[in-house]
Amino acid sequence: MPIVGLSFSSIEAKRSQIPRGEIKVNSSPKINEVKEVDVQSVGKKALALDFEFTTEYEPNIGSIKVEGEMIYMAENNTKILAQWKKDKTLPEDASVEVLNQLFRKCLLKVSNIAEELQLPIPIQIPRVSAKEKEKK
């Protein structure tokens, strides 16, 4: 089912030192809470997933953390909520969709913030290079 909304509620970012040498960048999402909510615009119930997404720059160079809420329209809210309450995980099909969307949206947000802090952006951007001239 679709993800119908994602909003950010908090952004924390810091650079401890100017990046030099080899830098390890690690980004990781985390779902903190799942609850059922009413989506009035469509007259249905959905799941609200509270999340945090952290990008760390090592060794001790900086970090960026965004927090927010994602609204997820599921076929079976009861099944997802039961699994969440039991072991704090989502079913695999929901987890894949949710995590892919979190990486997509959060990496774009974090990339803009990283650029402002003069930290490397956490995604690879394709590079264009000139064609080599043929030798005759």
Give φ, ψ of 125 to 5 degrees: -105, 130
Span 4-59, pLDDT tens digits: 899 999 999 999 988 788 899 999 999 999 999 988 777 888 999 999 999 999 99
Reported pTM: 0.84
Q: What is the pLDDT of residue 133?
A: 72
Beta strands in 59-135 (DSSP E): 62-72
Domains of the chain, earliest start first: 3-116 (3.10.420)
Q: Report the C-alpha gap between 74 and 54 in whole angstroms.
A: 26
Q: What is the pLDDT of residue 74?
A: 85
Q: What is the pLDDT of residue 1?
A: 56
Q: Report the C-alpha gap between 48 and 133 in whole angstroms.
A: 55
Mean pLDDT of the chain: 90
Please tell me the least confidently modeled range out of 20-24, 26-30, 65-69, 121-125. 121-125
Q: Report the C-alpha gap between 28 and 50 in whole angstroms.
A: 14
Q: What is the pLDDT of residue 135?
A: 65
